[in-house]
């Protein structure tokens, strides 16, 4: 009888027989895929091309029963277990070398009840799937800014975007979750059922189980919002960023404006002579009536002397996908991130310095304006650690060839180190790269020890460890 050698959590590889594999395959409504078979490379590929990992087996799940079967199989054989949902994962922790990959990407259903303003979302859904179904009823849940991001990883890490200041983070709008735990049991987590698990899921990542369904609170929004871009010359960056900082401090929570420093892409409204040159972009969205947004964003439009402006009424779904062309899969990516309570003059100088020497045309630094409803939630109300942040900075390094790896990564790390002095200790966990394994205790702050206690209760053997891992019983740094 043939056998397959697979990676285990502890000790030597396990040997799986044809009967073992056949039993798992027959238990799945989806499919079991091995290296070299159709669907294998599709399932293991994720958005960040620097990640190229090869699991021993892939369970392409069609529903929760498949997830239960896969988790139980991995437990029986002591296998390394990874979970892939949308695959938009900068650190690559959606897939591992060896072991069993649970692929949720085919579970993309979204159901909306407009009467109760609830949405039930399967774990493989992308943000574009969620927006399509919710916006059909003039409703929305706060999510991220790229329609190809997966709902699972975004939610479990926190989730913020254009309407966070008005409606809170994605985790703040999570009402319940169906979870397959480490022993292969399905449980419901909410404020009234398994409340400790529910607390940990809202910011604690994939440490506690496999979420097979999310229930979200929805809010009235759209279908049109006032949104768009204002592009300024890089030579005016200091004045523009200081004025933007002032706008952010005074703006109503319906108004969000992010600052982006990069080389200008070939936007159709931008004069051709500016394509490929460094610019400062103010990206704005108003989460309310368009007429109110005109007044609220007037001070932003009055800043400096823009090269061009493209800001007006737009379908919210279209705005949610506006940055997709800059975030296509297949490129090599490396991110570094900081949370800030304020943007100091020193930080502005560093932004200008490093944006003036971008290693490739695809690199950018963005500063997201958050706060508002996000900061209304008490630090200990959910696992998410960064409630004090008013700004989230992402150093987004993006390039095409391995030969550029060292230069691009060094640029991002240098900027991260140089700007750390004015930053908060927290870091948005969804932006942590693969090589940044320290600092989770600082990121979660006072919530860290409770997360470790919940981990010990729900996953004492750390079966779910291919993530931003919180070991059972870990203690916060003194």
Does residue 439 fall inside a structural domain?
no
Is residue 374 domain-shared with residue 268, that is, in the same domain? Answer: yes
- The number of domains in the chain is 3
Supply the pLDDT for residue 478.
39
Region 398-422 average pLDDT: 97
Confidence class of residue 131 from pLDDT cuts 50, 70 and 90? very high
- Enumerate helices (H) and strands (E) in the chain, giving the number of each: 16, 20
Q: What is the pLDDT of residues 63-96, one digit of tens each?
A: 999 999 999 999 999 999 999 999 998 999 999 9
Task: Give the torsion sign (CA, 459, 464, 470, 471).
Answer: positive
Laid out side by side, the sheet with 186-190 consists of: 110-113, 118-121, 210-217, 174-180, 186-190
Does residue 447 fall inside a structural domain?
no
Does residue 448 fall inside a structural domain?
no
Cα–Cα distance, 171 to 384 (Å, whole number): 8
Is residue 214 domain-shared with residue 356, that is, in the same domain? Answer: no
Q: What is the pLDDT of residues 380-398, one digit of tens each?
A: 999 999 999 999 999 999 9
**Helix, strand or coil, per DSSP, at residue 228:** strand
DSSP assignment of 148-198, as one string?
TSBHHHHHHH----TTHHHH--TGGGEEEEEEE-TTS-EEEEESSSSHHHH
Is residue 215 domain-shared with residue 255, that is, in the same domain? Answer: no
Domain carrying residue 179: 110-221
Is residue 385 domain-shared with residue 257, that is, in the same domain? Answer: yes
Cα–Cα distance, 368 to 166 (Å, whole number): 14
Q: Cα 331 vs. chain centroid, distance in angstroms?
A: 17
Mean pLDDT of the chain: 95
Does residue 321 fall inside a structural domain?
yes
Q: What is the pLDDT of residues 168-202, one digit of tens each?
A: 999 999 999 999 999 999 999 999 999 999 999 99
Cα–Cα distance, 328 to 342 (Å, whole number): 31
211: β partners: 179
CATH code for position 116 = 3.30.465.10
Is residue 383 domain-shared with residue 287, that is, in the same domain? Answer: yes
Residue 152: CB partners within 8 Å, gap ≥ 6? 85, 86, 104, 123, 124, 211, 214
Q: How many CA atoms lie within 13 A of 204 on its CB side?
A: 32
Confidence class of residue 477 from pLDDT cuts 50, 70 and 90? very low
Is residue 25 domain-shared with residue 78, that is, in the same domain? Answer: yes
CATH code for position 292 = 3.40.462.20
Supply the pLDDT for residue 3.
85
């Amino acid at each position: 009888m043939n056998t397959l050698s697979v990676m285990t959590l502890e000790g030597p590889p396990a040997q799986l027989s044809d009967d073992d594999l056949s039993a798992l395959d027959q238990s799945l409504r989806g499919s079991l895929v091995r290296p070299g078979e159709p669907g294998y490379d599709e399932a293991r590929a994720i958005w960040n091309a620097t990640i190229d990992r090869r699991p021993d087996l892939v369970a392409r799940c069609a529903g929760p029963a498949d997830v239960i079967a896969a988790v139980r199989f991995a437990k029986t054989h002591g296998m390394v277990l990874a979970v892939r949902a949308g695959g938009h994962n900068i650190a690559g922790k959606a897939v591992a070398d060896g072991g069993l990959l649970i692929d949720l990407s085919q579970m993309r259903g979204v159901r909306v009840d407009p009467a109760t303003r609830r949405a039930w979302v399967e774990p493989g859904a992308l943000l574009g799937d969620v927006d399509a179904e919710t916006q059909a009823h003039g409703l929305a849940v706060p999510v991220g800014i790229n329609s190809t991001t997966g709902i699972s990883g975004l939610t479990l890490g926190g989730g913020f975007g254009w309407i966070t200041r008005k409606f809170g983070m994605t985790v703040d709008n999570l009402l319940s979750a169906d979870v397959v735990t480490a022993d292969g049991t399905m449980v419901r987590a909410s404020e009234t059922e398994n409340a400790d698990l529910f607390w940990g899921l809202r910011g604690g990542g994939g440490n506690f189980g496999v979420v097979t369904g999310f229930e979200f609170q929805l809010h009235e929004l759209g279908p049109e919002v006032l949104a768009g871009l204002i592009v300024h010359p890089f030579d005016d960056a200091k004045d523009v960023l200081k004025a933007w900082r002032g706008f952010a401090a005074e703006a109503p929570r319906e108004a969000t404006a992010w600052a982006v420093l990069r080389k200008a892409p070939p936007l159709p409204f931008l004069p051709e002579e500016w394509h490929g040159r460094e610019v400062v972009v103010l990206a704005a969205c108003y989460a309310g009536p368009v007429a109110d947004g005109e007044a609220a964003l007037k001070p932003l439009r009055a800043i400096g002397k823009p090269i061009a402006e493209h800001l007006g009424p737009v379908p919210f779904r279209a705005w949610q996908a506006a940055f997709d062309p800059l975030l296509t899969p297949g490129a090599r990516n490396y991110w570094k991130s900081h949370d800030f309570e304020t943007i100091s003059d020193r930080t502005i100088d560093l932004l200008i310095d490093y944006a003036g020497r971008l290693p490739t045309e695809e690199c950018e630094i963005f500063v997201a304006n958050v706060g508002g409803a996000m900061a209304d939630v008490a630090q200990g109300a959910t696992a998410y650690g960064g409630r004090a942040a008013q700004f989230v900075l992402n150093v987004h390094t993006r390039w095409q060839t391995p030969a550029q790896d060292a230069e691009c990564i060094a640029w991002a790390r240098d900027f991260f180190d140089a700007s750390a002095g004015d930053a908060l200790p927290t870091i948005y966990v969804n932006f942590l790269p693969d090589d940044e394994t320290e600092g989770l205790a600082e990121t979660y702050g006072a919530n860290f020890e409770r997360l470790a206690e919940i981990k010990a209760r729900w996953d004492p053997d750390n079966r779910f460890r291919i993530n931003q891992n919180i070991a059972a019983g870990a203690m916060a740094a003194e």
